[in-house]
Structure 1
Amino acid sequence: MPAYGFAHLRSRRNHPDIIEYLERIQRTLDPFAGHFVIHGPPTEVVEGSWPGSMVLIEFPGMAEAKAWYDSAAYQEILHLRTDHIEGDLLLIEGVGPNYDPRERAAKLRAQA
């Protein structure tokens, strides 16, 4: 089952460290088969408000996502982003290709 690194980046400051981070991040993802699915603007907010931008990185599974985040290569560049961009990063497991939200609804209905 795929897993994702989801980042909500609320405040951004252009800084040479951010450019270096962008130049180096893909090399940290490659050993874990990670790739960008979404990387920042533009966005079209159709409900509510969304301050900032979004990044979504896909991995084959949660083990690879965690291993990437904990890797020495990523930890070495992490400060280049966190020193200049306020945000949150989540690692979250995706749903499989046969996911049916009606099954979740049935479980919730049974618990109610």
Structure 2
Amino acid sequence: MTAYALAHLRRAPVHAEVLEYLERIDATLAPFEGRFIVHGGPVEVLEGSWPGDLVVIEFPDSTRARSWYGSAAYQEIKPLRTRHLAGDVILVEGVDADHSSAEMAAAIRRADGS
């Protein structure tokens, strides 16, 4: 199942180390078949607030997503980002193409006895 690494990064002044991180991250993704599907860009806030940027990286599965994040190559460059950009980073699995939120609600009702 497809998995995603998501980062909500707070905006900060551009720093040379962050630029180096950007220059090097693609090479860390390649062995795990990771690819950017969102990398900053304009955000239209429809509800709440969103201070910062969104980054979404797609992987074929959660094993490769975790392996990328824990890899020596990524761990080597991660401090270039974390020293200068505050944020939250998560890994999450996607859903099947036939996912139905109505079926999900029905399963929750059955399990809950509702």
Q: Please state which band the TM-score falls in when normalised by the shorter chain.
A: over 0.9
The equivalences for 1:1-112 within 5 A come to 1-110=1-110, 111=112, 112=114
**Consecutive unaligned residues in structure 2, runs of 5 or more:** none
CA–CA distance in 1 between the matches of 2:50 and 2:19?
Answer: 24
Q: 1:50 offset after TM fit, Å?
A: 0.7
Bigger proportion of residues as strand: 1
The percent identity for this pair of structures is 54
Q: Is the 8 A contact 1:11 1:87 kept in 2?
A: no
Task: Tell me which amino acid in the other structure corresponds to 1:37.
Answer: I
SS at match of 2:10: strand
Structure 1: segments with no counterpart, 5+ residues: none
- Count, aligned residues: 112
- d(CA) in 1 for partners of 2:11 and 2:44? 18
TM-aligned CA deviation for residue 48 of structure 1: 1.4
Query: Residues of 1 paired with 2:36 and 2:12: CA distance?
Result: 19
The TM-score with structure 2 as length reference comes to 0.94
**CA shift for structure 1 position 13:** 2.7
Query: Considering only aligned residues, what root-mean-square deviation do their CA atoms show, in Å?
Result: 0.9
- Give the CA deviation at 1:46: 1.2
Alpha-carbon distance in 1 for matches of 2:42, 2:98: 30
